[in-house]
Amino acid sequence: MSINGHAHADLYRERTSRDTEGGETTPLLGNGSVQTRATGASFTSSVFNLMNAIMGSGILGLAYAMASTGIVGFSILLVLVSSLALYSIHLLLKLCDQTGINSYEDLGGKALHKPGKVLVGIAILIQNIGDGPSPRTTESRGDCSSAVISGMAEWITAVPSGMSSYLFILKSELPAAINSFLSPEDTGNAWYDDGKLLLILVTVCIVLPLSMSPKIGFLSYTSSLAFLFMLYFAVVVVVKKWSIPCPLPHNVTTLSGTFKISNFSESECTPKLFVISIKSAYAIPTMAFSFLCHTAVLPIYCELERPTKARMQKVSNISIGLSFLLYFISALFGYLTFYNHVDSELLLGYDAYLPRDIMVMTVRLAVLIAVLLTVPLIHFPARKAAILLLFGGRSFSWLIHIISTLTILSVVLILAIFVPDISNVFGVVGSTMSSCLLFVFPGIFYLKISGQPLRSVDSIGAILLVVFGLIMGVMSLCVIIVTWVKSS
Between strands 251-253 and 259-261, the pairing is antiparallel
In this predicted structure, which of 184-193, 232-241, 358-367 has the lowest mean pLDDT?
A: 184-193
**Is residue 22 left, alpha or beta, with left meaning phi > 0 and alpha meaning psi from -120 to 50?**
left
In residues, how long is the chain? 488
Give strand pairing partners of 251: 261
Distance in angstroms (rounded) separating the CA atoms of residues 93 and 104: 10
User: What contacts 143, CB < 8 A, 6 or more positions away?
Assistant: 176, 255, 256
10 in helix, strand or coil? helix
pLDDT above 90 (res 142): no
Highest averaged pLDDT of the listed ranges 20-29, 275-284, 455-464:
455-464
CA 120 to chain centre: 18
Q: What is the pLDDT of residues 306-365, one digit of tens each?
A: 888 999 999 999 999 999 999 999 999 999 998 888 887 888 888 778 878 899 899 999
Distance in angstroms (rounded) separating the CA atoms of residues 159 and 216: 25
Q: What is the mean pLDDT of the chain?
A: 79
Distance in angstroms (rounded) separating the CA atoms of residues 128 and 376: 10
Domain ranges, ordered by start, for the chain: 35-487
Q: Phi and psi (nearest 5°) for 29? A: -115, 160
Please give the pLDDT value at position 13.
39
Distance in angstroms (rounded) separating the CA atoms of residues 9 and 213: 29
User: What contacts 193, CB < 8 A, 6 or more positions away?
Assistant: 141, 142, 175, 179, 187
Q: Decide which of 3.30.720.120, 1.20.1740.10, 1.25.40.10, 1.10.260.30 is the CATH code for 35-487.
A: 1.20.1740.10
Q: What is the pLDDT of residues 238-256, one digit of tens each?
A: 999 888 887 776 655 444 4
Global pTM reads 0.82
Helix (H) or strand (E) holding 296: helix 294-302
41 in helix, strand or coil? strand
Give Dmax (Cα) for the chain.
Answer: 78
